[in-house]
Amino acid sequence: MPTKHEKEIFRRTAELVCSLCRHQGNEGTPAELHHIRRTGKRSNAPVIPLCPYHHRGSNTSIHGMGRKRFEREYAITEEQLLVQTEELLNVGA
Ligand SMILES: [Zn+2]
Ligand SMILES: [Zn+2]
């Protein structure tokens, strides 16, 4: 189970705009939560905001293309998007 603190971070992350759109200079795209897969429990995985286009689009998204291709295509890694998200939330790593 996520802790209260983690739930608070999820809630605040869900209010952010898409982190990749933001990286590309397009502010204001509503986003959904993407869980970053690491070892350990999925419910405790960190989350980043991604719009449906960058989250689930067939040839434009992290799930559609796979993480490796996504990172190559957009020249940014999932972890870098997480750092950017944490800076925005001001929670630190
Ligand atoms: Zn986006
Ligand atoms: Zn996802």
Q: What 3-state class would DSSP assign to 72? A: helix
State residue 27's pLDDT score: 84
State residue 20's pLDDT score: 97
pLDDT tens, the chain, 93 aa long: 778 988 898 899 989 999 999 999 998 899 999 999 877 666 678 899 999 999 999 999 999 999 999 999 999 999 999 999 999 998 654
How many Cβ atoms are within 10 Å of 53's Cβ, its own excluded? 15
Ligand 1 centroid–CA 10 distance in Å is 18
State residue 49's pLDDT score: 97
Ligand 2 centroid–CA 61 distance in Å is 9
Ligand with the closest atom to the CA of 66: 2
Ligand 1 centroid–CA 57 distance in Å is 10
